Amino acid sequence: MNKVIIGFFAQSGDAALCEGNSLLVMNKKKRLKNYLVGMPNSQMSKVSLHELLAGLDSGGEYCLDEPAFQLFEEYANLHYFNISSHTDQKGIELYTISLGEMMLFSS
């Protein structure tokens, strides 16, 4: 199975580019570069679907741009996630994702 790449995130040393408490993931490097003002020597790295799901399972929270969210939506059952959206200062629609609470039912 091919590795599905959701997008890219940026980091500089121990600091990662976040939107609030959520790791910012953009589908295209060019769009992400517009957010790197004030982050000298930053590096961009790929985020695969597997890495994103593992991060969510570990309690992480992600903020995806619309193209990255659409890719995520193709592969994930959205019923398991808390999802909210907002438009940022640059006019880009962002989707914040975290793992939802699991409901256990007993018979």
Digit-coded pLDDT (tens) for 51-79: 999 999 999 999 999 999 999 999 888 88
Asked if the structure places residue 106 within a domain, the reply is no
Q: Is residue 87 part of a domain?
A: yes
Q: Is the pLDDT of residue 41 over 90?
A: no
- Does a structural domain hold residue 107? no
Nearest residue to 52 (alpha-carbon basis) of 44, 43, 61: 61
Q: Identify whether 104 is part of a domain.
A: no
d(CA 48, CA 53): 9
Which has the minimum average pLDDT: 3-12, 37-46, 63-72, 94-103? 94-103
- Domain count for the chain, please give it: 1
* Structural domain contains residue 105: no
Whether residue 44 lies inside any domain: the answer is yes
Structure tokens given for 90: 């640059």
Query: What is residue 50's three-state secondary structure?
Result: helix
Q: Is residue 85 part of a domain?
A: yes
- Is 52 inside a domain boundary? yes
- In eight-state DSSP terms, residue 68 is H
Confidence of residue 102 (pLDDT cuts 50, 70, 90): low
Range of the domain at 50: 5-99
Name the CA radius of gyration of the chain, rounded.
14
80: confidence class by pLDDT, cuts 50, 70, 90: confident
* pTM (predicted TM-score): 0.88
Given this model, what pLDDT does residue 107 score?
46
Pairing, β 5-12 against β 15-16: antiparallel
